[in-house]
Amino acid sequence: MKKTLLSIALGACAVLNAQTPPQLENPGFEAWETIQVGGSSSTALEPVQWSGLKSSDDPSLAQLSPDGTLTQAVGRDGTGYSIRLETIYTLGVAANGGITNGRFHAPQNLNPEEGYIYTDSTDDKWHLRFSWRPDSLVGWYKYAPTGQDKGKCEVILHTGYGALPLYIQGVHDVAANRVGRARYDWTATTNGQWERFAVAFNYDDSRTPDFILAICTAGDSTISENGSAVWVDDLELVYNNLSVDTYDYNKDFTVYYDQDLVFVNMKSKSVETYPMEVIDMTGKVIATQKVNSNTTTRIQNLYNKGVYFCRINTGGKMITRKIVVR
């Protein structure tokens, strides 16, 4: 599974001659391939550009990994494909159903505390080069946990060598290589219904990443429960308009969250009134109002938790800021 990502230049109608922001490869899990398991005659089906336990870096353990931790399922709209992950108890441990665009490492001693996924920067098959800074991660899932189990979808942007978990005593410590992270935990049953999730990236610093590493799991890392299952489809990286601009206007335009209320403050040399839109993660305009510069304005009707974008038209320039309502 070749790991090459191309950014397509926008046409003349595009703003600022920016590049099209990239996505994870095969994010809808529509393309699948048959792989050999651990160099044996056994085969398994995996999404192109993704891998599961059957592709782990120890051939003998890859062959011992149980069938069913990663399977093909019907897409969320009833057509195409999605992935189904399930935690299955085997060899005295719970094999957490998972998928990554990197590679799984399972320790010979089968201690789940020492298992991890990683970016192999020396092998195109197990890494995805990535130098952008997306704003949010969105996708669709349905979850059927066992007991109080919880699964996750997590993406990190990193330099050099990257792995999850970032730190395992006596194995590795790559926390300093992380540039940013987005993680969403699925914690409760969706009763067989698909639900959309959205989570913002939090950045550790201003560095440009070298790679992107993603993972989805059915259970809670090392304490996952037998039988927990999750279906995942249509992952997407969302970009704030400012992420693709080659300039940064009006640093004095701020949006902040305080005591369950959202406020906007915009400074300028003179008092001006500007129209503002509040947009949700689907692109729907959920509120419009006027904002006066040099004053603090409360955003009306913004109570639901989620990621939103506040966009102001300054009469020639569109300025966008993100706000996360928790």
The pLDDT tens digits of the residues spanning 215-231 come to 999 999 788 899 999 99
Name the nearest CA neighbour of 51 among 38, 40, 41, 60.
38
What does CATH list as the number for 248-325?
2.60.40.3080
Separation CA 202–CA 181 (nearest Å) = 5
**pLDDT over threshold 60, residue 240:** yes
Mean pLDDT of the chain: 83
**pLDDT over threshold 80, residue 49:** yes
Q: Full-prediction pTM beyond 0.75?
A: no
Name the nearest CA neighbour of 58 among 110, 17, 94, 23.
110
- Given a contact cutoff of 8 angstroms between Cβ atoms, the answer to whether 155 and 235 are in contact is no
Q: Where are the domains of the chain?
A: 15-239, 248-325
The pLDDT tens digits of the residues spanning 287-325 come to 888 887 777 777 766 667 778 888 777 665 667 777 777
Superfamily (CATH) of domain 15-239 = BT2081, beta-jelly-roll domain (2.60.120.890)
